[in-house]
Amino acid sequence: MLVISLDLELGFAALHSKSRRIKTMDFELARENFFNLIEPAKRYRIKLTVAAVFGLIEKADSLLEYLRSPCIETACHGYSHRSFDVLSEKEAFWELKKCREIAKRKNIKLNSFVFPRNEVRHLHLLKKFGYSHFIFDSNRNSALDVSLPFEIAGLKAMPRTLYLDSFSIKTHAKILWQLNKKFAHFWLHAWNINDYGIRPLKNLFRMIKFLEKETKFIKEI
Ligand SMILES: [Zn+2]
């Protein structure tokens, strides 16, 4: 099984900078990168899981058309992007409730949850809010055997296996190695595209399509 996911904060500064100018610039740049990624995903029929911060989704209606596209699975990435390990249960409940309300209002289907900053907490609340999957960073839980998905708290835990922060030869070698395994989960941020352009991702999509014809490795979840 292959999962490709994108964290759409949109840009870090879009959420956290105090300067309105930097906030807008960062947001626009990351949005442009996101749009550039959607086109090849559509063309190669690659389904992407997009982790969306619902505090941004609430305001950014221009993104809705894309989030509702058949090549996108929208996952929830919290309302404020505050890490769940600093939220009390009550606060986490409030965030999850708020995200569900926005999703309902904007007609977005939500099955997957991606913890902000990859801090897994208040897991028992996810099932209550109708989630079936959550994504987590396996590097932070090295004590566990986390190379394959597993069940916990009535949910399927999907480990991340390769961060596409660069497209060096080394990364390509790692991609090929991971594609030979039973499960691979590649992920990136919209702003990572700034560093290496969209071409390496197009190549990755092309390679996946080729492998899809050859093997039964790639399935949708
Ligand atoms: Zn994030």
The whole-number pLDDT of residue 215 equals 60
Helix, strand, or coil here: 76?
A: strand
10 CA distance to ligand 1 middle (Å): 9
Residue 22 binned pLDDT confidence (cut-offs 50, 70, 90): low
70 CA distance to ligand 1 middle (Å): 23
The whole-number pLDDT of residue 122 equals 95
**CA–CA distance, 47 with 192 (Å, rounded to integer):** 19
Which positions ≥6 away from 187 have C-beta within 8 Å?
A: 4, 5, 6, 7, 135, 160, 162, 163, 164
More confident residue, 186 or 144: 186
77 CA distance to ligand 1 middle (Å): 7
The whole-number pLDDT of residue 221 equals 41
53 CA distance to ligand 1 middle (Å): 8
Strand partners, 75: 51
116 CA distance to ligand 1 middle (Å): 5
More confident residue, 135 or 215: 135
Across 34-43, 90-99, 111-120, 187-196, least confident range: 187-196
Residue 131 binned pLDDT confidence (cut-offs 50, 70, 90): very high
pLDDT at 133 over 90: yes
Q: What is the dihedral of CA 72, 73, 76, 80, to 10 degrees?
A: 0
The whole-number pLDDT of residue 16 equals 64
Q: Mean of the pLDDT values across residues 115-134?
A: 94
128 CA distance to ligand 1 middle (Å): 22
215 CA distance to ligand 1 middle (Å): 33
9 CA distance to ligand 1 middle (Å): 6
Q: Mean of the pLDDT values across residues 86-91?
A: 96
The whole-number pLDDT of residue 176 equals 83
78 CA distance to ligand 1 middle (Å): 9
210 CA distance to ligand 1 middle (Å): 31
Structural domains present in the chain: 2-214 (3.20.110.20)
pLDDT digits (tens, 9 = 90+) for 42-87: 888 888 999 999 988 888 787 888 888 888 899 999 999 899 999 9
The whole-number pLDDT of residue 66 equals 82
The whole-number pLDDT of residue 35 equals 84
pTM of the model: 0.86
**CA–CA distance, 48 with 44 (Å, rounded to integer):** 11
The whole-number pLDDT of residue 12 equals 59
7 CA distance to ligand 1 middle (Å): 6
More confident residue, 93 or 33: 93
49 CA distance to ligand 1 middle (Å): 13
85 CA distance to ligand 1 middle (Å): 14
The whole-number pLDDT of residue 88 equals 96
